[in-house]
Amino acid sequence: MFLLGTDHLSIVDRDTIEGFNLGRRLATVPKDSVRVCIVTYEEQMRGWLSYLARSKTSQDQVAAYRRLRGLVEQYSGTPLLDFDERAAAIFDRIRKSCIRIGTMDLKIAAIALANGATLLTRNLSDFGRVPELRAEDWTT
């Protein structure tokens, strides 16, 4: 199973070399083996809601709502992994070990570990600090 990190998910539909590389690699694995997690959804939703709140004109709001709709549609087609009791216990254990990465990243790592998933992320330096976590960058 593969868990798309926040950065990889935001790159999937971009017309860039990173988006192309990621799409090419994702095409080689069964679609049902790719997941996203509720924490990534939270991060992206917070960002889009903030962007929408800063929109000054009606045209800016139309564009922001259009992109927000794209986010909802993207998530509706990909199964979500929860921050459940198992992930919470792993999160607490990792946090007590004083690994210096952000709380949201620790939650994503815990979800990946709880589900035996390989995390797809460009942030290998931070996620590489989490023991036993398999993390790969498919954008290169």
Interval 97-129: pLDDT, tens: 988 899 999 999 999 999 999 999 999 999 999
Mean predicted confidence (pLDDT) in 72-87: 90
Name the strands in the sheet holding 34-37, side by side, starting at the edge strand that comes first in the sequence.
Answer: 80-81, 34-37, 2-4, 118-120, 135-136
Domain ranges in the chain are 2-41+79-136
Q: Residue 33 is encoded by which pair of tokens?
A: 């083996």
Q: What is the pLDDT of residue 109?
A: 98
Class for domain 2-41+79-136, per CATH?
Answer: alpha beta
- DSSP alpha helix (H) spans, the chain: 6-11, 17-26, 38-54, 58-76, 85-96, 103-114, 124-127
Please state the separation of Cα 112 from the chain's center in Å: 11
Interval 23-52: pLDDT, tens: 999 999 998 999 999 999 999 889 888 988
Percent pLDDT > 90 in the chain is 70
